[in-house]
Amino acid sequence: MKEIRIDSINNDIVIFAKDRAKRPMDKMNEENEEKNKNEYNQKCPFCRGNEINSPDLKFKIEDENDWVVRSVNNKYPIVDKFQDNIYGNHEVMIDTYRHNGSFYNMSEDEFYNMFLMYRNRYSDFIKDEKIKYVTIFKNYLRKAGASLNHPHSQIISISIIPPDIEKEVNISRKYYKDNNRHLYDDIIKNEIEEKKRVVNNSENFLTLVPKSTKYTGEIRIIFKKNIRFEDIENNEIRELSKIFKNLFSNIYKVNGDLPFNIFIHTHPKNSESEYLNVHIHIIPRKNSFGGFELSTGIYVSSIEPEHIAKKIKF
Amino acid sequence: MKEIRIDSINNDIVIFAKDRAKRPMDKMNEENEEKNKNEYNQKCPFCRGNEINSPDLKFKIEDENDWVVRSVNNKYPIVDKFQDNIYGNHEVMIDTYRHNGSFYNMSEDEFYNMFLMYRNRYSDFIKDEKIKYVTIFKNYLRKAGASLNHPHSQIISISIIPPDIEKEVNISRKYYKDNNRHLYDDIIKNEIEEKKRVVNNSENFLTLVPKSTKYTGEIRIIFKKNIRFEDIENNEIRELSKIFKNLFSNIYKVNGDLPFNIFIHTHPKNSESEYLNVHIHIIPRKNSFGGFELSTGIYVSSIEPEHIAKKIKF
C-alpha cells in the first residue's frame, strides 16, 4: 500500500512506501563499504548464476557467453500498479554482470550496453497510458542511498509530473516566451564561448560544471539536440559512453571512490515541454547540507565551478 | 567576496562564499566524533577562558561565576556587510559554556538562557533596514553540517527573502484566501483532534510529527499564537525550554546520539506574512536522499509519522 501526501506548509510531495523499510541492506558502513570485490559474489542477487534471486526479467542483452546487462522488477518498489492515485512501475537495471564493476572502471562497451538498456526500458515505460513521467537514476555507495553493492541503476514511471521536472519545464517555457530563444541553446552557446566551465564538448553533448548549482561539484551533460530520450540513436549512445568512460576516469583521479547520484531529466509525457533539452545531472555526495540550506532553500558553495572544470576536463 | 547566482534551469539560489573552505574543522569522522568530552577543552575557541579565540562579542548572559551563553561574529560568514546585493550578518551563538553540553543533556535553565539569547540576537538582527529575513539554525554533528564540537547555534540575516520562506508564506496566504481560515490554526486544531501525531500539547506550543514531511522523523513545534519571534515572552521561553528538555531526552532514548538540524521559520520583514505562524523544524539526519528524491523533488518515506510520535510523546 502506497500513500501520497502533500506537506501542507510547503507543498512538498511525499510517498509513503512502508515495505521499503524491509529491503535488504548489504553490510557496509559509510567509511568501509565492501572491499576486495570479485567479479562474482555468491550472496549477490544481481550476479550471473544467481538469477533465481532476481526473477521477473524484463530485458537483457547477451554476449557469446551469457547476459551482460539485465533489467528486473524491483522487489521493494517505490510505486506499483495497484493504485490509481500513485501508479507506476519500478525496475532495477543491472549495469554490468561484474559484481566489482563501477562507473569508475567500466569499459566504453559496458556503458554502451547499459545505455542501450536505459533506452529500451525508457521506451517501454513511457508507453504506459497512465504514466506522466519516467525517471532514470543511479545511487552509488551507501552515502548516496544505495542499499546493494552490485552496480545497478533504477527506472521509475509515475502518474504525476514531479515538481522538480515541472519547475524546469516551466522555466524553459518562460525563457522562450521572454527571449524568443531556447534556454538550453543559450546555455550551450554561452558555455562554449566562455569555455572555462566546459569539461568536454563533443558533437551531440556538452559536459560542464554548472555556473550555479546547489550541489558543489555537480556535473551536467546537456543533449545539444532537443530530442526525447527514447529517440537517442546508437551513434549518440556510443558518444555518450565515451564521455562517461573519460569523465568517471577523471573524477576518480581527482576524488577517488566518491559516492554519487546520477539522474536523467527527460520530457514529461503529453505536456508542453518542448523547450527542455534532456540533460544528465551527476551529483557527488561529498558534503552535507546544513541548517542554513535546509531552512532557506539557499545553498552555499565555497568552490568555484571553473576550478572544478579545470581539474576534470578532457 | 560573496557572489549570488541563480541556477538557470530551476531557479535555485546559490551563494558562493569561498572563504568558508578555510574554516577549521574539529578532527572527527562521522562514525567517531570526539568522545569523552570534558566541560573544558583547551583547544576549543568557544570554551570559557578561550575568549581570545572568539572575539567580537555581541551578547552574553552571565551567572554568579562567568558567562553561560555568548554570541560572537562568525569568523567565516556566509554573508557580510560589504556588498549590497548579498548583504547580511552572521553570528555564532554558543548554546552553553559546557564543551560537553548538547541538546540531549542540557538542563531546562540552559535552554532558557539559550532561547533568551536567540530572542536578543533576532531582535537585534531584524532591526537592520537592509535585511529582509533572519534565520536561526543549529547543526549537530558533522553529518548535519557541524564543523566544531562545542554546542553552538547560528543566526544569519539576509537581504533577500529565502525561497523556502517565500513558499511557506505564499501557501499560508493562499490557504486563507481559499478558506477564510488560517492554515496553522487548522493544522493545530486538526492535529489535536486526531491526536495520534501529537508529541506534546502545551499552552502555547504544539509539538508534532508532521503528517507529511520530506524528512522522515522530522518534528515540528508550532507557535499557537501568531506572534513574531522577537515578541516571544519570558514565560513562553520557559515553556519552550521545558519542551526541548523533554523532547530531546525522549529522542535520545529512542535514537541515541542522532545528528540533527534545527531551524526556526519566522516572518520575513515587511511582507504580507501575517498568515504564517512561527514554527521550529527539527530534522534528524539518519537517512540520505537518493537519486529518486534528488531527481524529482518527490520524497519517499517508509515509516508512519504516527509510529514515530508514539515513541517520543510526553
Name the 3-class secondary structure at A310. Answer: helix
> Sign of the CA dihedral A50, A56, A60, A62?
positive
- Condensed to tens digits (0 to 9), the pLDDT of residues B134-163 reads 999 999 998 898 989 999 999 999 999 999
Q: A64 to chain B nearest CA, in Å?
A: 33
- Condensed to tens digits (0 to 9), the pLDDT of residues A114-156 reads 999 999 999 999 999 999 999 999 999 988 989 899 999 999 9
Ramachandran quadrant class, B279 (left: phi over 0; alpha: psi -120 to 50; beta: rest): beta
- pLDDT bin (cut points 50, 70, 90) of residue A12 is confident
User: In which residue are the cell numbers 546547489 written?
Assistant: A214
A vs B, Cβ pairs < 8 A, gives: 241
**Which chain B residues are closer than 8 Å to A285 by Cβ?**
288
Contact (CB<8Å) B164/A13: no
Q: Which three cell numbers stand for residue B310?
A: 508514539
Q: Which residue of B has its CA nearest to A278?
A: B9
- Condensed to tens digits (0 to 9), the pLDDT of residues A65-96 reads 899 999 999 988 899 898 888 899 999 999 99
- Condensed to tens digits (0 to 9), the pLDDT of residues B162-190 reads 999 999 999 999 999 999 999 999 999 99
How many CB atoms neighbour CB B40 within 10 A?
14
Which are the contacts of B246, defined by CB distance < 8 A and separation ≥ 6? B200, B314
> Cα separations (Å) of B192 from B195, B207, B250?
5, 10, 20
Tell me the C-alpha distance between A273 and A269, whole Å.
8
> A212, A220, A287, A289: best mutation site toward chain B, by most B Cβ within 10 Å?
A212
**Which chain A residues are closer than 8 Å to B158 by Cβ?**
296, 298
Strand order in the sheet with A57-62: A57-62, A67-73, A88-94, A152-158, A133-140, A260-265, A279-284, A219-223, A205-208, A198-201
Closest Cβ opposite residue A298 in set B15, B29, B300? B15
Q: B64 to chain A nearest CA, in Å?
A: 33
**Which chain B residues are closer than 8 Å to A14 by Cβ?**
212-214, 298-301
Whole-number pLDDT of residue B27: 60
- Condensed to tens digits (0 to 9), the pLDDT of residues B217-268 reads 999 999 999 999 999 999 999 999 999 999 999 999 999 999 999 999 999 9
- Condensed to tens digits (0 to 9), the pLDDT of residues A188-222 reads 999 999 999 999 999 999 999 999 888 989 999 99
pTM of the model: 0.92
Contact (CB<8Å) A299/B158: no
The single-letter DSSP state of residue A80 is B
Whole-number pLDDT of residue B28: 52
Closest Cβ opposite residue A10 in set B160, B171, B211? B171
Q: B38 to chain A nearest CA, in Å?
A: 26
**Which chain B residues are closer than 8 Å to A15 by Cβ?**
298-301
Contact (CB<8Å) A213/B285: no
